[in-house]
């Protein structure tokens, strides 16, 4: 069977599975549509959260980012996992106790302010929509490389699948498809990694392999890699080149951004109790850690494999002749993600760390996708990686679309436009919002705006600087009032946005930036790291304004005290 047929079969089988689950898990009430009826087992919710959280960026891009950035990229590993500690202790249990359907709803009720709720809705929609564009383009890339259809067709097929199970099943359908998608994506990620770890280090567990000896050289693999990179004029893999300040702040931003991303928080509304919300955050991290502990091993080993391919006789000998390049190089050259430019005309692939002499350009995104081919793994593994990339992108897209549609139908339509809407009417409007959100996301995926690549800075900046501090203060302080919260959120949001715009261009229009991340405005703080500073501004402003104005009313104090006590979460379901 040829590779194309194999890809088609594996991807087709996973898609059939998702559709089957959607038909089985139809949503009949708003509680089922928004919160899967609050009956999801904490382990199952943990698995669904894993798929919800791990996007095309985690699956496709992260190993590549680590592979080419080495130690400096540890911020992603610590930030995107450490946020779950904050979520488990500071956010999820209390919002579950609150017992309603959306994150803006908590902010609006706790700060007795429609303005606060609206600011939260705007942050949520902006962050989620930028994020979802990345998923849609990821679907397009995976389709065009593995199923030989053009990107537009691929994207439309993906959108149709999401449309089907998200509109019919709501949170309930999304939860159970995410569980299936998690299984597909984690198998697709770990199986090639195990093969590669065995081949390079003899250790079948990639996280242990990363710190084991290299089979070829007998020295530890990281030492071998450092040596290879030094020979070729690259920065050593384990060396820090980013400033400590920026790395610290970037990690903070990713962590608090993770704990403030609404599409992740709402997953914890689906479990039956507060205790289940706490343990479910732990299970989510177990399932996420399986990938995040594998990714650094994949990153380092892929780099070794790549250099070994180009320098088959060692980095001190002559590189491979272009004419003798393996098939996988030819395959990926066609996508434009690999390139060769014979600058010195010797017909050899000179891969070096200097811009003048390097002749081999490798796009970071191919590290995960090309890994099985680089390591000569069987065809079914390649097909599985294709299905895994699609599962990662589709599961995150569905979670984001869910957050957007519930914000529109619950926080805008039900709360502000038509409060007397019946449950049936709200369910219908939730489905229509979902359908509209998918159409917009598909359109933006086909015509990505210039800022699509700035997803990390924008989504995490917004969540870190506005939503996370508001939630934290709403739970841990009884003194922060409506004025303080609104002023804090707007201040945090504005300084973060302005800092991002100053470095990335106003509204991401190229050329309108006054600074660059290489030479930033404040010390060495890059725009991607500024969410942490925005959060600090939010806290300070909220504190000062609250203390200068009236205390919150007595019923708000009672609300805060009630979310701090776990008992009664089950009865707070309907409202």
Q: Which positions lie near another protein, rule CB under 8 A?
A: 71, 74, 77-78, 81-82, 84-85, 88-90, 93, 207, 210-213, 219-224, 226, 238, 240, 244, 247-248, 251-252, 273-275, 278-279, 281-282, 285-286, 289, 292-293, 296, 561, 564-570
CA distance 527 to 498: 10
DSSP state of 413: I
What crossing angle do the helices spanning 554-564 and 468-476 adopt, rounded to 10°?
A: 100
Buried b (16+ CB within 10 A) or exposed e, 240-258: eebeeebbebbbbbbbbbb
Q: Which of 261, 244, 202 is nearest to 54 (CA)?
A: 261
Instruction: Provide the β-strand partners of residue 519.
Output: 516
Dihedral sign for Cα atoms in the order 63, 177, 394, 93: negative
Let me know if 150 is exposed, middle or buried by CB neighbors in 10 A (0-12, 13-18, 19+): exposed
Q: Residue 87 to residues 81, 282, 488: CA-CA distances in angstroms?
A: 10, 10, 21
CA distance 103 to 121: 8
In whole angstroms, the minimum distance from the beta carbon of 60 to another protein comes to: 19
DSSP H stretches of helix in 311-422:
327-335, 366-374, 379-406
**Secondary structure (3-state) at 475:** helix
In whole angstroms, the minimum distance from the beta carbon of 400 to another protein comes to: 24
What crossing angle do the helices spanning 244-260 and 468-476 adopt, rounded to 10°?
A: 70
Q: Which is nearer to another protein, 242 or 426 (CB)?
A: 242
Q: Which is nearer to another protein, 66 or 129 (CB)?
A: 66
Q: Which is nearer to another protein, 109 or 213 (CB)?
A: 213
Q: Are 395 and 50 in contact (CB under 8 A)?
A: no
Q: Which is nearer to another protein, 95 or 221 (CB)?
A: 221
Q: Which is nearer to another protein, 203 or 455 (CB)?
A: 203
In whole angstroms, the minimum distance from the beta carbon of 155 to another protein comes to: 33
In whole angstroms, the minimum distance from the beta carbon of 53 to another protein comes to: 14
DSSP state of 348: B
**Secondary structure (3-state) at 455:** helix
Residue 360 phi/psi, 5° resolution?
A: -125, 115
In whole angstroms, the minimum distance from the beta carbon of 204 to another protein comes to: 16
CA atoms within 13 Å, Cβ hemisphere of 347 = 3
In whole angstroms, the minimum distance from the beta carbon of 133 to another protein comes to: 28
Q: Which is nearer to another protein, 227 or 379 (CB)?
A: 227
Q: Which is nearer to another protein, 238 or 335 (CB)?
A: 238
Q: What angle do CA 519, 524, 529 make, to 5 degrees?
A: 105
Q: Which of 541, 532, 537 is nearest to 245 (CA)?
A: 532
Q: Are 237 and 300 in contact (CB under 8 A)?
A: yes
In whole angstroms, the minimum distance from the beta carbon of 54 to another protein comes to: 14
Q: Which is nearer to another protein, 243 or 549 (CB)?
A: 243
Contacts (Cβ under 8 Å, ≥6 apart) of 345: none
CA atoms within 13 Å, Cβ hemisphere of 81 = 17
In whole angstroms, the minimum distance from the beta carbon of 86 to another protein comes to: 8
In whole angstroms, the minimum distance from the beta carbon of 158 to another protein comes to: 30
Q: Which is nearer to another protein, 291 or 493 (CB)?
A: 291
Q: Any idea which residue has 């590549």 for tokens?
A: 64
CA distance 430 to 410: 8
In whole angstroms, the minimum distance from the beta carbon of 145 to another protein comes to: 28
Q: Which is nearer to another protein, 479 or 564 (CB)?
A: 564
Q: Which is nearer to another protein, 118 or 212 (CB)?
A: 212
Q: Which is nearer to another protein, 321 or 565 (CB)?
A: 565
In whole angstroms, the minimum distance from the beta carbon of 295 to another protein comes to: 9
Q: Which of 18, 373, 39 is nearest to 185 (CA)?
A: 18
Strand 338-340 vs strand 360-362: parallel, antiparallel, or unpaired?
A: antiparallel
In whole angstroms, the minimum distance from the beta carbon of 244 to another protein comes to: 6
Q: Which is nearer to another protein, 213 or 308 (CB)?
A: 213
Residues, the chain: 575
In whole angstroms, the minimum distance from the beta carbon of 505 to another protein comes to: 30
């Amino acid at each position: 069977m040829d590779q194309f047929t194999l890809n088609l079969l594996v991807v087709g089988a996973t898609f059939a599975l998702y559709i089957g689950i959607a038909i089985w898990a139809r949503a009949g009430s708003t509680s089922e549509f928004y919160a899967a009826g609050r009956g999801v087992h904490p382990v199952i919710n943990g698995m669904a959260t894993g798929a919800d959280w791990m996007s095309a960026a985690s699956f496709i891009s992260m190993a590549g980012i680590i592979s080419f950035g080495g130690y400096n990229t540890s911020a992603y590993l610590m930030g995107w996992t450490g946020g779950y500690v904050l979520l488990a202790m500071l956010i999820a249990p209390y919002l579950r106790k609150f017992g309603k359907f959306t994150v803006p709803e908590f902010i609006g009720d706790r700060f007795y302010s429609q303005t606060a709720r609206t600011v939260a809705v705007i942050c949520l929609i902006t962050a989620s929509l930028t994020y979802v564009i990345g998923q849609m383009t990821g679907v397009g890339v995976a389709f065009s490389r593995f199923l030989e259809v053009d990107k537009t067709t691929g994207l439309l097929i993906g959108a149709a699948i999401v449309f089907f199970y998200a509109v019919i099943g709501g949170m309930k359908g999304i939860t159970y498809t995410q569980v299936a998608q998690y299984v597909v994506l984690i198998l697709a990620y770990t199986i090639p990694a195990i093969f590669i770890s065995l081949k390079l280090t003899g250790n079948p567990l990639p996280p242990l392999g990363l710190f084991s000896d290299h089979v070829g050289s007998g020295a530890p693999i990281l030492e071998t890699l450092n040596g290879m990179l030094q020979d070729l004029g690259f920065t050593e893999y384990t060396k820090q080149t980013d400033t400590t300040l920026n790395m610290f702040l970037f990690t903070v931003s990713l962590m608090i951004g993770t704990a403030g991303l609404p599409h992740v928080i709402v997953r914890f509304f689906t479990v039956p109790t507060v205790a289940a919300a706490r343990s479910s955050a732990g299970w989510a991290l177990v399932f996420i850690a399986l990938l995040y502990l594998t990714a650094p091993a994949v990153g380092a080993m892929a780099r070794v494999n790549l250099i070994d391919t180009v320098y088959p006789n060692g980095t001190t000998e002559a590189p491979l002749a272009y004419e003798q390049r393996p098939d996988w190089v030819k395959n990926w050259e066609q996508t434009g993600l690999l390139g060769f430019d014979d600058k010195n005309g010797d017909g050899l692939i000179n891969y070096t760390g200097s811009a003048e002499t390097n002749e081999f350009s490798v796009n970071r995104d191919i590290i995960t996708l090309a890994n099985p081919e680089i390591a000569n793994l069987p065809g079914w593994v390649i097909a599985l990686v294709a299905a895994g990339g699609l599962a990662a992108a589709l599961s995150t897209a569905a979670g984001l679309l869910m957050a957007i549609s519930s914000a529109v139908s619950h926080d805008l339509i039900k709360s502000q436009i038509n409060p007397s809407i019946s449950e049936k009417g709200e369910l219908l409007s939730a489905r229509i919002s979902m359908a509209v959100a998918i159409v917009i996301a598909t359109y933006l995926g086909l015509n990505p705006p210039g800022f699509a690549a700035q997803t990390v800075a924008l989504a995490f900046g917004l969540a870190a600087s506005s939503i996370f501090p508001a939630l934290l203060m709403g739970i841990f302080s009884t003194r922060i009032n409506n004025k303080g919260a609104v002023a804090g959120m707007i201040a945090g949001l504005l300084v973060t946005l302005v800092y991002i715009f100053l470095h990335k261009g106003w509204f991401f229009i190229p050329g309108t930036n006054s600074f660059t991340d290489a030479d930033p405005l404040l010390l060495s703080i890059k725009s991607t790291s500024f969410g942490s500073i925005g959060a600090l501004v939010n806290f300070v402003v909220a504190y000062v304004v609250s203390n200068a104005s009236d205390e919150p009313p007595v019923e708000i104090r009672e609300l805060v005290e009630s979310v701090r006590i776990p008992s009664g979460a089950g009865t707070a379901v309907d409202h």
